[in-house]
A = this chain, B = another copy of it.
Amino acid sequence: MPTSKDVAAVAGVSQSTVSYVMSGKRPISEKTRLRVEAAIEQLTYRPNAGARALASRKSQVIGLVIPLTPESHFGSLMEFIAVIAATARRHDHDVLLVTDEEGNQGLERVVGQQLCDGLILMQVHAEDERIPVVRKLRVPVVFIGIPNDSAGLNCIDADFARAGELCVEEMSQAGHTSGVIIGWRTQLVGSKLNYVDRFLGGAKGAAQGLGVTLDHLPASTDRRSIEAAVDACVAGSDGRPAFISPDMTTLELLPRILREKGLEPGRDASVIGVGAVSEALVELQESTILDIQPRLVSQRAVEILFNLMNADNPDAGGTLELIPPLVTHRHGTAGHSATAPQSTG
């Protein structure tokens, strides 16, 4: 493996000149620059990441903390990860995977070892126990998700309140005057994923405005609890029930459960929700799906992080960005086109 010393020798310059050619941190004459670049090419030189990190105190790596809990929807998760990795590369950084299996230990470890210069945390809980730790961390952190107390933190997420409104509007336009939201068990809401709360808030507001009634049936992401919720809803429903859910796993399960009970989604019941669906699958969903735009959210998360990492002020921050959802797919409701993305401002 050639070193920058070798490059210097070949180019007939000093090692520091090689360094400055690569970093551009000081003016170099056209002539020497070309010589150095030629030498780099010739030797296929690549700077040693460890040495660079040691000397510069920058690893050129960002840590991505991913949730591997049962409630996470792997397909959606991957959608985020893919964009984050690609965006990071565009900024000349790599991505280190940190599973939340290690919990706070993991955060402290990767930052303590100076393995990365910044962190992105996914699946942030309302009262996330990582927050006190994050506040003490000496690297910038961006949350995907909005905790209850986001003061001074940098957060970005889909606008679930708006998504709730849109779902109810969709429901109303599909001719329903009442519907049921299937979300998490109430005892978990508030202490865990609070986007359900935000979603409920938006939905309830819209329901009032539109004069439709809305119930909230708590359910977890397992088949049994969803089934129970469905039974309850069908029993209490006059005619065609409508289901709304902010959770992708639930949205995948619901149509199947309905069919098992002899209800054809779109005809005998409406299913409306938000999620991150892969393009291949979205057009065949039996539900009306609002896209929470994981690609946009991820990209902004990385950009915010890089802004912070390049900021002079070490504790700059306090971003709170909400990305509006898009209606990408309507299904089974008369009078609606099945595609045509539409901005929601």
Q: B-contacting residues of A (Cβ < 8 Å)?
A: 1, 44, 46-54, 59, 61, 64, 66, 68, 70, 73-75, 77-79, 81-82, 85-86, 89, 94-99, 101-102, 108-110, 112-115, 138, 221-223, 249, 252-253, 256-257, 278-281, 283-284, 286
User: How far, in whole Å, are A279 and B223 apart by their CA atoms in the complex?
Assistant: 10
CB of B99 within 8 A of CB of A97, answer no
User: How far, in whole Å, are A151 and B89 apart by their CA atoms in the complex?
Assistant: 33
Given contacts A47-B113, A50-B52, 11 further A-B contacts (CB under 8 A): A46-B109, A49-B114, A54-B54, A64-B97, A73-B75, A74-B75, A81-B81, A85-B99, A94-B97, A96-B96, A253-B280
User: How far, in whole Å, are A54 and B50 apart by their CA atoms in the complex?
Assistant: 5
CB of B102 within 8 A of CB of A49, answer no
CB of B253 within 8 A of CB of A284, answer yes
Give the residue of B52, B53, B70, B249 whose beta carbon is less than 8 angstroms from that of A49. B53
Q: Min CB distance, A90 to chain B, in Å?
A: 10
CB of B54 within 8 A of CB of A51, answer yes
CB of A89 within 8 A of CB of B64, answer no
CB of B280 within 8 A of CB of A114, answer no
User: How far, in whole Å, are A54 and B49 apart by their CA atoms in the complex?
Assistant: 8
Copies of this chain, tallied across the complex: 2
Instruction: Give chain B residues whose Cβ lies under 8 Å from the Cβ of A257.
Output: 284
User: How far, in whole Å, are A135 and B50 apart by their CA atoms in the complex?
Assistant: 24
Greatest chain B CB density within 10 A among A78, A79, A112 is at: A78
| A283 and chain B: residue at smallest CB distance | B223
CB of B74 within 8 A of CB of A249, answer no
CB of B1 within 8 A of CB of A114, answer yes
User: How far, in whole Å, are A305 and B243 apart by their CA atoms in the complex?
Assistant: 47
Instruction: Give chain B residues whose Cβ lies under 8 Å from the Cβ of A138.
Output: 1
Closest 9 CB pairs of A and B: A50-B53, A46-B112, A74-B78, A75-B75, A50-B54, A49-B113, A95-B97, A256-B284, A78-B78
CB of A96 within 8 A of CB of B99, answer no
